Amino acid sequence: MLTIDQITTALNNHQPKTLDQATTKHAAVAMLLTDTASGPEVLFIRRAEYDGDPWSGDVAFPGGGIETVDAGPQLAAERETREEIGLRLKPENRAGQLDDLLGAYLPIQISCFVYLLEEKPHLKLNGEVVDTFWVPLEELLNPQRRKQASFEYRGSIQSHPIIDLDGYCDRFLWGITYRLFESFFSLLGHNSRDFSKK
């Protein structure tokens, strides 16, 4: 079973690969973890549905675009977390950073920062977020939850690997947030070929 100590050690030993895509929109997100009696859990948000929003209704981490008021991507992730779910992150909560990713379909660069919380906090959602829920990391590693799914995205039928979140949310995990988890689990000694493609 994964432990917070394993996660902390892996992040401390990781030198994140950052990108400098001057012509690409840059966004930052926060992966929020807490320890429980049955192991670490991660917080997800479900975004509100808006016409024209490419992430409408998606399961994701709190975060958003870097603005001129932000002194870098980490502070952008912390500002967006505060605005979206009412959680003020502290410097001592930061555990590390994952490698930056580029969007597969959209011209966007994503930076992801990992934070450890002592307990599950009370959250106050703004209009951009309609739900939050915690999922054990072990559930995200469960091969039975890892599938290939076909669905409509941006006007065409796409086939992508997903993580089924049945029992936690009626949406599945895919796209950039899925890829961030692949990067995260790879740091911890797991990778895609370990998982059954059911």
The stretch 87-111 carries a mean pLDDT of 92
Residue 148 maps to a domain: no
Which pLDDT score is estimated for 83?
Answer: 96
Which range of residues forms the domain containing residue 65?
A: 4-16+25-141+174-188
Place 106 in a pLDDT band, splitting at 50, 70 and 90. confident
Residue 155 lies in a domain: no
Q: Which element (helix H / strand E) includes 74?
A: helix 73-85
For the stretch 145-198, pLDDT in tens is 999 999 877 677 889 899 999 999 999 999 999 999 999 999 999 875 544 333
In a domain, 160, yes or no: no
Per-residue confidence (pLDDT) for residue 24, from 0 to 100: 74
The pLDDT value given to residue 36: 96
The one-letter amino acid at 32: L
Q: What is the pLDDT of residue 43?
A: 98
**87 assigned to some structural domain:** yes
Cβ contact 174:168 at 8 Å: no
Evaluate the CA torsion angle 35, 38, 42, 47 in order and state its sign: negative
pLDDT single digits (tens) 20-73? 766 678 999 999 999 999 999 999 999 987 666 656 679 999 999 999 888 899
Q: What is the pLDDT of residue 195?
A: 45
**Number of domains observed in the structure of the chain:** 1
Task: Provide mean pLDDT across the span 9-21.
Answer: 91
**CATH number, domain containing residue 78:** 3.90.79.10
CB 7 within 8 A of CB 190: no
Give me the pLDDT at residue 16, please: 96
- What are 195's two structure tokens? 């998982």
152 domain-assigned: no
In a domain, 94, yes or no: yes
19: confidence class by pLDDT, cuts 50, 70, 90: confident
Average pLDDT over residues 73-80: 95
* pLDDT greater than 50 at residue 134: yes
* Cα–Cα distance measured from residue 36 to residue 59, given in angstroms and rounded to the nearest whole number: 22
Percent of the chain with pLDDT over 90: 71
